[in-house]
Amino acid sequence: MLNYNYIISGASDKAIHVDLTTSDIKKATPLVIFVHGFKGFKDWGTHNFVAGYFAQQGLDFLKFNFSHNGISKDGSDQFNDLEGFATNTFSKELFDLNQVIDFAVSEEKFVKPSHIYLIGHSLGGGISIIHTAENRIIEKLATWASISSFRNLWSIEQEKIWKENKVLYFANSRTNQQMPIYSTLLEDLNRNYERLNILSSAKRISQPWLIIHGEEDPAVNYNHAQELHKQQINSKLMLIKNGDHVFGAKHPWEESELPDALRCVCDATIAFFKNNT
């Protein structure tokens, strides 16, 4: 497999670190763009294994760090930019994803893809749903453990505190950090409520859509997947028995193979993308 790294400009001119895994840089092949979730990053756990797994099946795999995800160094797993994290908004993430897609279809460093597909995980699933509804260049969408509403990420009580204090802290159990987000995220959500309504966007998706969710997901209950599926009757819903939020993966991932549940998710997604392409 071949791996390439790029830096492009994101929201507020902050850097977006991008990497591409491919079996042939000179051949026009389908491109899968992976969108990470909250407190996520492109090099988390099994993501590099997943990229190679897809590339082996003839699907180029591009993943990236959102410009305001809190990690400023490529390849790092340390949240060293908490101020950037604090100023993130959902609109900024939508802008970043658009930048990545524009880069993928226009960058002279590699051949223009024959098809563009999206995978969104968790919060990244919500971002991907909105973007797919807005951008017809996306030919197929797969969401893994996606949320159905941004407001499900916090409680009503937390939102009250957030508004009063202008900041809310989210614990990161891996790094033992209290990660701040300013109330500008809430303001963005309220100001752009119609655009940032995930269920409303789900209704407008006309592209083929595969919804995958773990039945035992402790972070995002599988009823989110069922709710998304109700909005778009043409979508396909796949529940992973005993699957958790990351389908058996963890960070760091020190095994030589993908966990069984994640491999099942990857196989189903690859088959979905390759069908009739």
CATH number of 2-151+198-274: 3.40.50.1820
Instruction: Tell me the two tokens of residue 254.
Output: 């020190």
Residues 6+ apart with CB under 8 A from 215: 222, 239, 240, 241, 242, 243
Distance of CA 71 to the CA centre of its chain: 15
pLDDT at 255: 95
pLDDT band at residue 125 under the 50/70/90 scheme: very high
pLDDT at 233: 87
Residue 277 has pLDDT above 70, yes or no: no
Residues 6+ apart with CB under 8 A from 83: none
Query: Does the predicted TM-score (pTM) go above 0.95?
Result: yes
Q: From CA 202, how far away is CA 206, in angstroms rounded?
A: 9
pLDDT digits (tens, 9 = 90+) for 251-276: 999 999 999 999 999 999 999 999 97
Residue 50 has pLDDT above 60, yes or no: yes
Torsion (CA) 152, 157, 161, 162 in degrees, nearest 10:
10
Q: What is the mean pLDDT of residues 125-138?
A: 98
Every domain of the chain and the residues it spans = 2-151+198-274
pLDDT digits (tens, 9 = 90+) for 212-255: 999 999 999 999 999 999 999 899 999 999 999 999 999 999 99
Distance of CA 149 to the CA centre of its chain: 14
Q: What is the mean pLDDT of residues 164-170?
A: 97
Helix (H, G, I), strand (E, B) or coil at 97: helix
Low-confidence winner among 20-24, 52-56, 57-61, 94-98 (lowest mean pLDDT): 20-24
Q: From CA 255, how far away is CA 224, in angstroms rounded?
A: 30
